[in-house]
Chains A and B, each alone.
Chain A
Amino acid sequence: MTAFLRALGTEWLKLRRTLALWMIVVAPLIVVLLQFFIGYDRMKVPENIQAWPMFVQSSCALWAIFMMPLYITLETALLNNIEHSAKSWKQLFALPIPRASLVAAKMLTSFLMIGLSTVVLCIAIVIFGKLLSFLRPQFLMEGIPVELIATKAFLPFVASWLIIAIHSWISARWQGFALSLGVGIGAVFFAVFASGARAGAFYPWLFPLNSLGDERSFIALTVGSIGGILFAAFATWDVTRRDVL
């Protein structure tokens, strides 16, 4: 366990001065900024419409369907390519600590980074929501709907664990960005078409979006989270047992 915690600490040390670290802030910020400008651009709103729920939901939906899956793809690929490009698995796996602790630490770091981005998403929604209410007083945006923001931001995160685990596995096992990005972009593209189909309820890349809805949210949250933990365990085992060539 201590080896695992030490490995987790070094993951953050290795992130210094990397694009991956910046992406934690940049990815959610892009989504909220986009929604902010859309809102700012819209001069008229139907009367007596509460704008907070609209702003929160549209930000979180755009995040869940599009930005988060792509961001997970990029983030896991960047994180694992720190090792691939340094050719450091051979050094790390020859250290007198359990290999699994290194692999599991890397995987948990991916989860934590997406979690941190979710926190950033919440903060950005609050800041830009307040800014919007100040610039467009005709929108009814009073107070801060903390509970709504937290729910709508964190449900997609929990539902995304399975795709985080899948992408962590792909990018740990195969070096380079080609396969990770290919799978990630292809899967998001497919999700756009699958969202209307009945089978879309079981499509992992739709779990984050589905978690925001009513009827499909149970499957998305249970399969997404439990499946994610199980797949992460499989991925750790698989990457650990492999020969290092």
Chain B
Amino acid sequence: MSTAIATLGLTRRFGSIAAVNGIDLNVPENSVYGFLGPNGAGKTTTIRMLLGLLRPTQGEIHLFDLSLKENRAAILSKTGSLVETPSLYSHLTGFENLEVLQRLMNIDKSHIARVLSVVRLEQDALRPVKQYSLGMKQRLGLAAALLGEPRLLILDEPTNGLDPAGILEMRKLLQTMPEEHGITVFLSSHLLSEVEQMATHIGILNAGSMIFQGPLKELQSRRHEHLYLETDNPHAAMSLLAGREWLCNPDGSSGLKVEIRNREETADINKLMVQNNIRVFQLSLIQSSLEDIFLTLTNSDGEKSS
């Protein structure tokens, strides 16, 4: 499979601090690549380098197997971007905002109507952007990114500041990109739960370094899930579980946190409790957060090196 983005040892220092430290990105074409990391991990710095807005201190960037340094215009004509907040002129209408870009890119004016319909803003296109809601602005920003018929979308925190309905809408829009439009989507986020629902591939950045990169399934297989188990007799439950080699810790007065390897084990645990006359009040999966994944990934690295 050919790659949309490949970097080699990409590094950017600000003074003595390495904001991005030797990362090797590998984004397959037609994937939705979730670029994860806590705030300050270097996601935005990386994205700015991918768009040629920041010069790398070291390393190489290839988009569509072309060097960004030597083929800037050719690459950028296939790339649409939305970095942090959308760049919109609030005194102009939505249509006029797109018209500015359309004229600069020297493309047909019909593209404006096309992208407005993709993000469903036709009705509001003639209103000034200062009257737009945050979600509408974000959608207009996406429309701007789609205007030049890109093959790659680079989006920095595209759901930032959106309400749940807006997030859902954005997610649906982005998910359709690879199949319906043949567009590779590279998006950054600090929320695993959000990216998990649309990404096919994941890269995790922590303090400027990649700590994981690969298909979503691989990440899911590497992380340990936890159950929350509430019973009438936590002590008995705990010793029962320990006897079957399930790791568990008390969580609250009558609850236990049990580490499981796969979802089927939930049923096994339930059966075990019922068979031993322990009444189960609650049995639920605890969604692991990005922080948990970091701990798991950094711990397993520690184990490897020790």
Instruction: List A residues 117-162 near B (Cβ within 8 Å).
Output: none
Residue B181 is within 8 A (CB to CB) of chain A in the complex = no
Q: Which of A14, A89, A97, A243 contacts B100 (CB 8 A)?
A: A14
B13 beta carbon closer than 8 Å to chain A: no
Task: Give complex CA distance A88, B89 in Å.
Answer: 8
The answer to the question of A48 belonging to the interface, with a C-beta cut-off of 8 Å to chain B, is no
Interface residue from A6, A7, A86, A243 paired with B89 (Cβ < 8 Å): A86
**B104 in complex: contacting residue of A10, A17, A87, A90, CB < 8 Å:** A10
Complex Cα spacing A87 to B86, Å: 8
Q: Does B85 contact A (CB under 8 A)?
A: yes
> Which A residues between 158 and 194 are near B, CB-CB below 8 angstroms?
none
For the complex formed, measure the closest distance between the CB of A213 and the CB atoms of chain B, giving whole angstroms: 41
A220 → chain B, closest Cβ, in Å? 36
Which of B27-35, B75-83, B249-257, B298-306 lies at the interface?
B75-83
Given A86-B89, A91-B81, A243-B54, residue A96 in contact with residue B105 (CB < 8 A): yes
Partner of B96, one of A13, A87, A244: A13
CA A3 to CA B106, docked complex, whole Å: 8
Bound CA span A88–B106, Å? 18
**Bound-complex Cα distance A16 to B100 (A):** 12
> Is the beta-carbon distance between A86 and B104 smaller than 8 angstroms?
no
- Cβ–Cβ < 8 Å partners of B76 in chain A: 94-96
Interface centre among B85, B100, B101, B148 (most CB of A within 10 A): B100
B49-82 CB contacts (< 8 Å) to partner A: 51-55, 72-77, 79, 81
Q: Are A243 and B90 in contact (CB under 8 A)?
A: no
Interface size class of B (residues with CB under 8 A): 20 to 34
A82 at the interface (CB under 8 A from B): yes
Report if A18 contacts B (CB, 8 A): yes
Tell me whether A199 is interfacial, beta carbon within 8 Å: no
Q: Are A2 and B106 in contact (CB under 8 A)?
A: yes
| Per-residue B-contact encoding for A1-35, CB less than 8 Å = 1, 0 else | 01100110110011011100000000000000000
Contact status A86-B87, CB under 8 Å? yes
Q: Which residues of A contact B105 (CB under 8 A)?
A: 95-97
A36 contacts B by Cβ under 8 Å: no
Residue A218 lies at the interface, judged by CB distance under 8 Å to chain B: no
Q: Which residues of B contact A13 (CB under 8 A)?
A: 92, 96, 99-100, 103
Q: Are A243 and B87 in contact (CB under 8 A)?
A: no
Residue of B nearest to A13 (CB): B100
- Given A10-B103, A13-B99; A96-B73 close (CB under 8 Å): yes
Contact B96–A97 (Cβ < 8 Å): no
What residues of chain A lie closer than 8 Å to B84, measured between beta carbons?
Answer: 87, 90
Q: How far is the CA of A89 from the CA of B85 in the complex (A)?
A: 12
A163 to B48, alpha carbons, bound, how many Å?
33
Docked complex Cα distance between A93 and B209 (Å): 27
Nearest residue, chain A, Cβ from B54: A243
Contact bitstring B100-134, A, C-beta under 8 A = 1, else 0: 11011110000000000000000000001000000
In the complex, A93 Cα to B72 Cα: how many Å?
Answer: 11
Q: Tell yes or no: A43 within 8 A of B by CB.
A: no
Cβ of A93: which chain B residues have Cβ within 8 Å of it? 51-53
When C-beta atoms are compared, the residue in chain A nearest to B52 turns out to be: A94
Of the listed residues A16, A88, A94, the one surrounded by the most CB atoms of chain B closer than 10 A to its CB is A94
Chain A residues contacting B96 (CB-CB under 8 Å) are: 13, 16
Q: Does A197 contact B (CB under 8 A)?
A: no
Cα-based distance from A116 to B96 in the complex (angstroms) = 24
> Contact at A9–B53, with CB atoms within 8 Å?
no
Nearest chain A residue, comparing its CB with the CB of B76: A96
Q: Which residue of B lies closest to A2 (CB)?
A: B106
Could you list 16 examples of A-B contacts with CB < 8 Å? A13-B92, A14-B89, A86-B90, A87-B84, A90-B48, A90-B84, A91-B87, A93-B53, A94-B53, A94-B79, A94-B81, A96-B72, A97-B104, A97-B105, A102-B104, A243-B48
Interface residues of chain B, those whose CB is within 8 Å of chain A, are 48, 51-55, 72-77, 79, 81, 83-85, 87-92, 96, 99-101, 103-106, 128, 144, 148
Instruction: A13-B103, A16-B91, A86-B89 are known; give 8 further A-B pairs, CB within 8 A.
Output: A7-B104, A13-B96, A17-B91, A82-B91, A86-B88, A89-B87, A93-B52, A243-B48
